[in-house]
Chain A
Amino acid sequence: MNNQSLGHIFIDALLINNFVLSVFLGICPFIGVSAKLATAWRMGVAVIFVTLVSSLLAYGTNALLVVLNAEYLRIISFIVIIASTVQLVEMFIKKTSPALFRALGIYLPLITTNCAVLGVALFQTSRQYDFAQSVVFAAGASFGFTIALVLMAVIREKLELSDIPDTVRGTALVLLLAGILSLAFMGFSGMGVES
């Protein structure tokens, strides 16, 4: 069992070890969906929802796998859980809010291959978090993902109007910006109380 306090786990996943900027999880949507603030925001909310639900399900499934002595099925069952959660969310949003469904478009099914979601499930298992810790960890990690995504979208919208050489434009520019953001987030590493 891991006896870190809930507040520490939350801040750690949110800022100190931000999933995008210092653990390198979820980089693909971070580069792909951060061009516009509105889409970035919606994507962030969808990821928060999927992460929370799949983290809960992964916790239950892992307990079951340990009882059955079948830990080798862990990766496979986690990915099935995530894929079905995404499918569920897709159906739910389609039913309740067709406008949001159209706005999210292709990004919704792509959450399945967002490594941040699988990362949460794997980390909470390997760090042996209990139920409350897992939920708080999932919340912190997915909020952290959304913060990074929204920050990057704001910067990119500003840069739209500036004069940038053609060679730098595109992915290279986003990565340079991410490097600078990541430097800024390193400032939070002093907040880690215990190791």
Chain B
Amino acid sequence: MTGAHLVQAPSPSENYETFFNGLWKQNPVFVQVLGMCPTLAVTNSVRNALAMGAATLFVLVCSNMLISLVRKRVPKQVRIATYILIIATFVTIVDYLIKALSIAVYKALGPFIALIVVNCMILGRAEAFASRNPPGKAILDGLGMGLGFSFALLCLGAVREVLGAGTFLGVPLFGPRFQPWVLFLLPPGGFLTLALWLLVFRAWQSRKERKQEQWRAAA
């Protein structure tokens, strides 16, 4: 099914760009600042962050694919409702899947699995990308965006777990005399860590822009 569409798809370099756009240049968390609630709520440990990233990736890829497949049949007036229903279906699947695979992860993530439905990043991709592109490209876009989202969650989760508990994936990093900075596991830590990462990204980007300007001025 996807093979036929990939044949129609343009050059491989464009596919490459679709994929890496979400991963880096248009990163949903650091650049677009979308999907904030799960980003802040479940990143108090690396394990939770990875589980949430994987769940969101699955929903995003599946919903992007299905929405792209039905995009020409859905009337314009009811498209948002249709997209939300499609997303909710896949979220229900993930909800039961995680419950079946690991009760510990299910308890840690709690209602935030069901809340993937209202992750504005997923609806945003449906409206901005999947409803306008063939399924092959939509899947690539979902993969890129989903991995970019997981990467951002991992960045946050790593900082918060290392500083707040002194561990990484449950493995202690420092000696027994390490005094954990518990604040980073608590809600304020989530806000502060994300602010910190956004600052790092902004500073890095503005430095790059300044360099480009200097280069242009020199030429």
* Chain A interface residues toward B at CB < 8 A: 21-28, 31, 72-76, 79-80, 83, 112-115, 118-119, 122-123, 126, 166-168, 170-173, 175-176, 178-180, 182-183, 186
Distance in angstroms from A65 CB to nearest chain B CB is 13
For chain A, what secondary structure do more than half of its interface residues adopt (helix, strand, loop), or is it mixed? helix
13 contacts between A and B (CB under 8 A): A25-B41, A28-B37, A76-B85, A76-B92, A79-B85, A113-B123, A119-B111, A167-B202, A171-B33, A182-B187, A182-B191, A186-B186, A186-B187
Contact B188 A79 (CB under 8 A): no
Residues of B within 8 A of A21 (CB): 187
Q: How large is the interface on B (under 10, 10 to 19, 20 to 34, 35 or more residues)?
A: 35 or more
If A75-B92, A76-B85, A118-B115 touch, does A179 touch B40 (CB 8 Å cutoff)?
no
Report B89-120 residues with CB < 8 Å from chain A CB. 89, 91-92, 95-96, 111, 114-115, 117-120
CB proximity of A118 to chain B, nearest CB, Å? 5
Contact between chains at A180 and B117 (CB < 8 Å): no
Interface residues of B in 158-191 (CB under 8 A from A): 186-191
Residues of B within 8 A of A72 (CB): 92, 96
A183 touches B188 (CB 8 A): yes
Pairwise interchain contact B114-A75, C-beta atoms closer than 8 A? yes
* Stretch of B5-13, B16-24, B62-70, B193-201 that contacts chain A: B193-201
Which residue on A lies nearest to B93, using beta carbons?
Answer: A72
A residues in contact with B88, CB < 8 Å: 75-76, 79
